[in-house]
Structure 1
Amino acid sequence: MKTNMKHFLLLITAFAFIGLQSCSKDDPTPEEDQEEVGGAVLTFTEVERESHGDHYHYNDIADAEVEEVKFSGNPLLPPTGAHLHLEVGKTYRLTLVAKDFAGRETQQTFVDRDDIHNVFILGAPKKETLTYVYADKKADGTKVNVGVTGYLTINEEASTFDLRYILRHLNPGVKSSITPADWNNADFTKFSGENDLDLRVGVHLVKEGDHDH
């Protein structure tokens, strides 16, 4: 009887272990991205760029020029005919607002998980056409480079092109190989991962006051 009871207890233990293993495989691992974006807004707000030695300070200004474009649908697209005019010599604070399918803002999640997220901004005809500086902060004030917030300076005129704002979800360990200078790296796919966002909008870079074409 004792022998039979031991065999019974061993079987119960084995089934319990198998059940636990099966459940654990269904649980999402910390590396799995649970972020889903149901809508997005890119806002370009004019700021003052003030030189401080080898870097700049960016100051808010009164009556700032603001350009905004909303993306919706699946895939996320701007309104038909959306077309932005940005002026040469000006700097804009470029910010992303992302919302999940319940309408809750989620952009801070990308900043707080800076080790696996990075924005790339592509499409300008030449690398010298634009300058971009990352300006993200975590909830505790720590500065990180993601691209949810940044400063875009317009250096020269350009005919209309599709500006691409790509938020990439990187594989673990990849972020350490990305530098701030990679913000417009056309070979961004070498940084392995998948795109959380690939937003596109027509942009025309013009001289001050020249918005007629």
Structure 2
Amino acid sequence: MLALMDADGNIAWSGEYDEWGNQLNEENPHHLHQPYRLPGQQYDKESGLYYNRNRYYDPLQGRYITQDPIGLEGGWSLYAYPLNPVNGIDPLGLSPADVALIRRKDQLNHQRAWDILSDTYEDMKRLNLGGTDQFFHCMAFCRVSKLNDAGVSRSAKGLGYEKEIRDYGLNLFGMYGRKVKLSHSEMIEDNKKDLTVNDHGLTCPSQQIAQIDVVIILIQSIKKR
């Protein structure tokens, strides 16, 4: 079942499909053009096939009409779509993937990113560096980049956006930062700066990460004196 909603949240189009992407019925009162089918696919009206980025898929056969461009790296059958289209996807038309495994990996990436960001936050509190907001953002995302894992970095960016939304909400009640309520424009600017620093942190080279770790070690040693 697929559906499109308008700006008011009303269903403007809906369609029901079988496991292999064949359309069973359609509700299209506004005569909308809706080409999307299974994940990554677009309906080609002239041929009746589904464009799958790297090749075309025939929903009647449940197979691709051309060989896999990456050969046997995409699986033992050069024409096959995922054998279980309910749990499998192939958005690029190259190699099938299990949805459950993808979700599990996303959950693991999210947890790894969360652990790094929260550990860095606890380090900042323990070292009494709570007022250095952008230093925290840069250091935390530098630590994420050290894993050299695109999935974890992507999850960290998502968490970064969630934090800015949360910060904006806290500011509405005067509970953000120094507990001084900022204007809408000031808060948006603050959000933008934090997100920019996040992106910069993800690109920092290994030697910069080492320098940041040294700063933390120096602060720790000074506080112990």
TM-score per shorter chain, which class?
Answer: under 0.3
Larger proportion of strand: 1
TM-score (norm 1): 0.24
TM-score normalized by structure 2? 0.23
- Say which structure, 1 or 2, has more relative contact order (CA 8 Å, 6+ apart): 1
More helix by share: 2
